[in-house]
């Protein structure tokens, strides 16, 4: 974990600021063992094979990034399909037929999304890197899109999975709350509204944070950052890595990129095919 020197605290003792990303904190919260493999162990353990649902999500995100870099008049359904084709890759799919099928589906999803939401958005940031010092952490991350709407900044996060998100997903997302805090600091504007845009259905769910709810997420992020940093420091001092970074086996182990290196994960659930999470 990256530590940087902070300003003097009120008691004269220098504080240590921990540099974090929402992805790191989410990984630590869900499985410390996966966090260790990804962010602590060097050299990093070899990852498993590419997963088709990850390839699909990347193509959709890249297409929308390119789309929202265009003027509104050029954000047409046909351009959306064209951009999906341009950014399409086939890693993880069962074969050429399945890849072609999902390429067409992805093009339809983006075209429908553009039809419903494309021209109305006023993005002030696309794949925008934001950073802010808040509390005892420095939050950094890349936001899919930042809109300016009704006098405020809105954090937009694309979702491409089988699960259709609900309001609770937006409300409880640590990542979205931290993006809102970082966006407010980076762009110097009011930012309390966060949105999840489900690309398969073009559904949008939103949540407006209060100062209190953002503070709760910040405090949680500080606790997670402290705990993960303490675990890494303990390993450097000679503690057992498996004890400091325990596995939390569950259904997610079936698709974990580090499954081959984790006894608990392999015992928890059978391995799945790389295309098993595409859904219908």
Q: What is the DSSP string of 163-225?
A: S---HHHHHH-HHHHHHHHHHHHHHTS---EEEEEETTTTEEEEEE--HHHHHHHHHHHHHHH
What span, in angstroms and rounded, lies between the C-alpha atoms of 21 and 16? 16
Predicted confidence at residue 13, as pLDDT, reads 42
Domain 122-219, architecture per CATH = Alpha-Beta Complex (3.90)
Mean pLDDT in consecutive groups of 10 residues from the start of the chain, 280 residues: 45 67 97 98 96 98 96 95 98 98 98 90 95 92 96 97 96 98 95 98 97 97 96 97 97 95 96 92
For tokens 């098993």, the residue is 276
Cα–Cα distance between 164 and 133 in angstroms, integer? 32
- Where in the chain are the domains? 49-117, 122-219
Among 22, 19, 17, 60, smallest CA distance to 155 is for 22
Distance of alpha carbon 28 from alpha carbon 127, whole angstroms: 24
Closest to 182 (Cα-Cα) out of 224, 148, 134: 134
Residue 259: per-residue pLDDT: 96
What's the helix, strand, coil split of the chain in %, to 5?
Answer: 50, 20, 30
Task: Tell how strand 193-198 and strand 152-159 pair up.
Answer: parallel
The pLDDT assigned to 213 comes to 98
């Amino acid at each position: 974990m990256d530590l940087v020197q902070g300003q003097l605290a009120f008691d004269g003792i220098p504080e240590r600021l921990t540099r974090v990303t929402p992805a790191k904190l989410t990984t630590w919260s869900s499985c410390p063992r996966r966090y260790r493999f990804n962010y602590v162990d060097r050299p990093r353990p070899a990852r498993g094979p590419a997963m088709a649902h990850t390839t699909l999500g990347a193509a959709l995100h890249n297409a929308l990034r390119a789309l929202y870099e265009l003027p509104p008049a050029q954000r047409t359904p046909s351009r959306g399909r064209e951009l999906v084709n341009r950014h399409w890759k086939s890693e993880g799919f069962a074969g050429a037929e399945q890849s072609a099928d999902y390429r067409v589906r992805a093009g339809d999803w983006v075209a429908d999304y553009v039809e419903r939401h494309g021209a109305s958005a006023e993005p002030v940031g696309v794949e925008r890197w934001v950073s802010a010092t808040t509390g005892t952490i420095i939050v950094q991350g890349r936001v899919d899109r930042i809109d300016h709407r009704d006098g405020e900044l809105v954090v937009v996060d694309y979702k491409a999975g089988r699960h259709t998100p609900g309001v609770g997903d937006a409300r409880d997302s640590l990542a979205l709350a931290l993006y809102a805090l970082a966006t407010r600091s980076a762009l110097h504007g009011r930012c309390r509204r966060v949105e999840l845009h489900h690309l398969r259905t073009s559904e949008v769910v939103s949540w407006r944070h209060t100062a209190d709810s953002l503070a709760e997420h910040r405090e949680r992020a500080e606790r997670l950052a402290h705990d993960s940093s303490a675990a890494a420091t303990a390993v450097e001092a000679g503690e057992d890595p498996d004890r400091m970074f325990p596995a939390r086996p569950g259904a997610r182990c079936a698709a974990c990129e580090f499954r081959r290196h984790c006894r608990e994960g392999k015992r928890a659930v059978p391995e799945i095919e790389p295309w098993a999470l595409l859904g219908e």
